[in-house]
Structures are given as C-alpha cells and as structure tokens.
Amino acid sequence: MLKNFLILSVIFFSVFLILIKLDFSDYFIDSKISLNILISGFITMGVFSVSSTLKSKNRFQKYERRNLATEKIINDLNNEVLFFKNLNKRYQKILDFISDMPTSSELESFANRVLDAIMEIIPDAKFGTVCTSVDDSSWKFISFKGYDSHSLKELYFKENWFEHLKEENTNIKIIENIVESPRIPEHVRKIIKSKLKQTPKKSIFCVLKHEREILGFITVDFMEDDVNIPYETLEILNSILKISSIFISLKKDYDKKTLFQEEVIKAMIRIIELKDKYTRGHSERVAEFSVKIAEKLGLSDGEIEKVYWAGIIHDIGKVGIPDEILNKPERLTDEEYEIIKRHPILGEQVINQMMYLKEFSQVIRHHHERWNGTGYPDGLKGEQIPLLSRILAVADAFDAMTSDRSYRSARSVEEALKEIYMNSGTQFDPKVVKALLDLFNFEKSGENNS
C-alpha cells in the first residue's frame, strides 16, 4: 500500500516539474498547487507539503513585459496598416484621376479636375490655383478653389516673367507667405495681393514643366501656418504634377496641330475653287451633309469630326485635273471622264504628303466606290468600302444633283432624294441612304413630307 502511494506521489511530482520545465506554468500563475505527499514508514508518518506559487512574482513580471511588448507591436502594426490604407486611398485617387481623364478635355476643365483631385488628397487644403499659358506670350489663372474667381480671372501675365523657373532644381516647394516670395516677380505679387481678400500663410508651389518648357504653376494654399505636410503627400502631388504637365504639353501641341491643319485645309480648298468655279461652296455643303448623316447613324464625336474634314477636302485631287476638263460646259468624253476618275487617287497622294492629314487619305481615295463594286478606283464592294467614304458618296451625290453644273441645271431636293433612293443597294450603302432620307422625312413612296 505504502509502496503504491509513494510511486503515485513521485509520478505526480514529476509531471508537475515537467509542466514547469515546459513553461506551462503560465496557466497556474496566482494559484497555489499543493501536493501532499505522505511518507510513512513502519514507525512514523509524515506529511511532505509542497506549496508553490511557481515563482509567480518573477514570472508574472516577465510575462507582463512580454505582453506589453506584444501590445506595442500590434499597435504599431495597426498604425502601419492604417497608414498604408490611407496611402492606398490617395494613390487610388491618382488612378481615378488618370482613368477618368478625357483626352479631348478643354484646358480649363482639366485644370478644375486637377484641383479637385488635389483637394481630395490633401483635405486640409481649401485654396488653390492653376496658372498656365493661354497663348505664346501670356499666362493667366484658369482654375481656382476658395478664391474669388472673378478677380483672378482678369489677371494676365507675360510669359517671360516666369523664365527663372526653368533653373529651379525641384518642381515642388513649400513656401511661407507666397505672395512675398521671390519665386514670383515683385510686380506680379503686388497685382495678386491687390486682388485677394486674404493671403495664404503657407503654400505648396508646383511648377508645371515638361522637359525645358515651363507650362505654368499650381499653388495649394493654406490660411494657417501650422499645417503639417507629410513627405508622402508631396510624392503623390508630384505624380499628379507630372501627369498634368504632360497633358498640358500635349494639349498645346494638339491645339497647334489642329489650327495648322485647319489652315492648310482651307488654303487647299481655296485653290480648288480657283480652278473649278462650280465647286465653290460644294465642299462645305458635302461636309455639312456628311456630319448630319453621321449623326443619324450614331457615330462617335471623333468620327463625326473626321467625316467633316474629309468632306471639306474630298475633291482635293482635282488640283491635278486640267482646267479645260473641270470647267467644260458640255458633257465629258469617255477619255475626259477617265481623267476625272483619277482625282481620288491624286487626292490620296496629296494628302499622304502631309503628316497631319494622312488619316483622311483612305476616306478620300474611296469616296467614289460603289456598293455593288462597280465604282472607282479599286472596285471595292459593300463593307470593304470605309464607312466614312460611303457617307461622303451619298452626301457628294446629293449636293451635286441639287447644284448647278456647267452641263446642267440643279435638280429639286425631292428629285435628288428619289434618285438616291433608286440607287440604294447598287451605287449607295442602303443604311447611309436611309439616314439621308430620314433627314428630310422622305418616304420611300417618293413623297417628301418636310
């Protein structure tokens, strides 16, 4: 009996020591474990009492420090997660700004979007401006937040006043009292101060620059001087600044290209009109009819603009046709007609020499193709013919029939529509013909209800 009891006591005590060794004593802190091991012999019985707190005091301090350290790490991690969540939201603003940016946006509309994006990224900023060049010699404010837009809109600055910004080694700087800063010419500062009811205490001054060209500047203004502007905010702002600079640069180039293209086209049309008196006004009318047909067909704004300019220059190839054929009062001979039929190819060749007009070349080449494949110069058929060429073909024929020519008088609108309808599916694309007839509320019975 005693032998068995002693064995059990040793087992219990050994298990207890193992638990301590394995550091499971955490579960016993603040609890007393008493093992009453009865040792008795033949003569005496004693009580061996083990009362232990498992060094609870020292161990409790040790684990308390460990818990505090763990809590600190968790708090730090939570702060980092929150930081990156906020940072991610800000970068998402940039992505939204880029993805929603319309390439055809007007400069003022784009500048407004830039400031809106900045104000969302920097909530403490309630004031801001965008100033950029409006022509080759002057700058002006084109967007505002917080300020009286009427007073600032009146201001114009000479571009050379800001030439010194080219030498700046950074595009973003935080400036105290910007209206007193030498980064802005003194006479400009005076003008701006006179227009503002309150002046900013602190500003983020951002130079819009692409390569060596200074395009303008953006200011993000604070009316308090105790504003903290984190480094990551400046990095995000720098990304928006780069995107904005590229957009403005491309926009200026596009505007110059468009203006140049229009001037070239108009000059070419004047040349045609000097050669062929019967084409005077014809190109503009074909362009206008083409636009109306394109709108009826639901084409995009880009395609509608393209068909307009294609209509304007569709007969440019006639510059290579002899005057005596163009202005012949009688009907053309077969040989003369073959020469006339060369004008779409000549037009394509002229257009291809001009970088800004190449996109129109195929439309011009194929505007005399026929739906059934019997047209010229390539005998294209049906959908093989570019849609804009098919539109030009209908608009061109309609205006030609309703205008005086050297060999005949103009037909009525109703007569012209009837003939075009009769040639739907052979000479003309039926879909395009329907769009023209719908413009005039022309019924297929041949009656005009307009």
Strand order in the sheet with 127-133: 156-158, 138-145, 127-133, 213-222, 202-210, 172-176
CB of 360 closer than 8 Å to CB of 251? no
- Compute φ and ψ for 326, nearest 5 degrees: -60, -40
Who contacts 425 (Cβ-Cβ below 8 Å, separation ≥6)?
Answer: 371, 372
> Rounded to an integer, what distance in angstroms lies between the CA atom of residue 192 and that of residue 164?
19
pLDDT value at residue 293: 97
Each as own residue / partner, the long-range contacts of residues 182-185 (CB below 8 Å, 24 or more positions apart, any chain) are: 185/161
Domains identified in the chain and CATH numbers: 2-54 (no CATH), 101-253 (3.30.450.40), 276-439 (1.10.3210.10)
Who contacts 222 (Cβ-Cβ below 8 Å, separation ≥6)?
Answer: 124, 125, 126, 127, 200, 201, 202, 203
> Rounded to an integer, what distance in angstroms lies between the CA atom of residue 439 and that of residue 425?
19
> Rounded to an integer, what distance in angstroms lies between the CA atom of residue 178 and that of residue 225?
12
pLDDT value at residue 310: 92
pLDDT value at residue 64: 60
- DSSP readout, 336-362? HHHHHTTHHHHHHHHHHT-GGGGGGHH
Q: Checking phi first, is residue 200 left (phi over 0); if not, alpha (psi -120 to 50) or beta?
A: beta
pLDDT value at residue 369: 97
Give CA 79 to chain center in angstroms.
34
Each as own residue / partner, the long-range contacts of residues 284-292 (CB below 8 Å, 24 or more positions apart, any chain) are: 284/312, 285/399, 285/403, 286/311, 286/312, 286/314, 286/392, 286/395, 286/396, 286/399, 287/311, 287/312, 287/395, 289/394, 289/395, 289/398, 289/399, 289/436, 290/388, 290/391, 290/392, 290/395, 292/439
Q: Which residue has the tokens 């969540």?
A: 85
Who contacts 192 (Cβ-Cβ below 8 Å, separation ≥6)?
Answer: 152, 155, 179, 184
pLDDT value at residue 69: 58
> Rounded to an integer, what distance in angstroms lies between the CA atom of residue 232 and that of residue 210?
22
CB of 444 closer than 8 Å to CB of 425? no
Digit-by-digit pLDDT tens for the chain (450 residues) are 544 444 545 454 454 444 444 444 444 444 444 434 333 333 333 333 334 444 455 555 555 665 665 565 556 555 544 544 554 555 555 555 554 555 456 788 888 888 888 888 888 888 888 888 777 677 888 888 888 777 777 777 776 676 667 667 778 888 888 877 776 777 777 777 777 777 888 889 888 887 777 888 898 989 887 888 888 788 878 878 888 888 888 777 777 666 666 776 777 777 777 766 666 788 889 999 999 999 999 999 989 999 998 998 898 888 888 888 888 878 889 999 999 999 999 999 888 877 667 889 999 999 999 999 999 999 999 999 999 999 999 999 999 999 877 667 889 999 999 999 999 999 999 999 999 999 998 765 444 444
Instruction: Name the amino acid, one letter, at 91.
Output: Y
> What is the length of the chain?
450
- DSSP single-letter state for residue 33: E
Task: Report the candidate in 426, 422, 418 with the shortest Cα–Cα distance to residue 370.
Answer: 426
pLDDT value at residue 370: 97
